[in-house]
A and B are shown apart, each in its own frame.
Chain A
């Protein structure tokens, strides 16, 4: 029972985090949402019994990509232009 609930909730949270990352106008907040999505994705890999991929996703996706994107925002500008 709890197993099926986890398999339902975590993909839902991944989708919500991805949509939030797209919709936010503040790019720093968007990067944080992307990091949260990456962390949830690594949790999803873990419960799907792929711990190898989960470690790689947590290390690269949630930490290093976030650092690179935050540095890129520091070098450019924080707010996205209104269309």
Chain B
């Protein structure tokens, strides 16, 4: 599997930024609109799978090592549980939303009543969405990447 034709590669190169930005948008707006860490991560991983199909698994494996993906996945899980335990330190209980009302990042309280959605709200929930998104991106892409690489190695024999 050494990649597909030049047309496919060009179309992939043109459309990949939009897919990746959309996936990151779904992750970043997880506390306001439908979607969140898992859904945005699945969209992002789908875009990466498109690159894998277009350019071939050997080329992709050279660029992104499977070891690094495993590390990113563990980092996502670690960040999630770290943020949860920081609630115990800064607040009172596990998973405490200690950032709300602190006026720092994601810290403002939205105005009462239904108005326009404000991205800079919700405390630790967007940060946890980013952690889950990182884990889902790395995990789902690692599955497909290792499977494609193993099959291409098997075909060489």
Contacts and interface: CB of A to CB of B under 8 A. Distances in A.
Contacts, number: 50
B144 A68 contact: yes
**Which bracket fits the contact residues of A?**
10 to 19
B80 interface: no
B38 A56 contact: yes
Q: Is the interface of B mostly helix, strand, loop or mixed?
A: helix
A64 B45 contact: yes
A72 interface: yes
Contact of A67 (B1, B34, B49): B49
A51 B1 CA distance: 36
Contacts of B143: 64, 68
Given A63-B46, A64-B42, A68-B147, 17 more contacts: A51-B34, A51-B35, A52-B39, A55-B26, A55-B35, A55-B39, A55-B42, A56-B42, A59-B43, A59-B46, A63-B42, A64-B46, A64-B49, A68-B144, A71-B144, A71-B151, A75-B151
A56 B38 CA distance: 7
Nearest to B49: A67
Interface in A19-76: 51-52, 54-56, 59-60, 63-64, 67-68, 71-72, 74-75
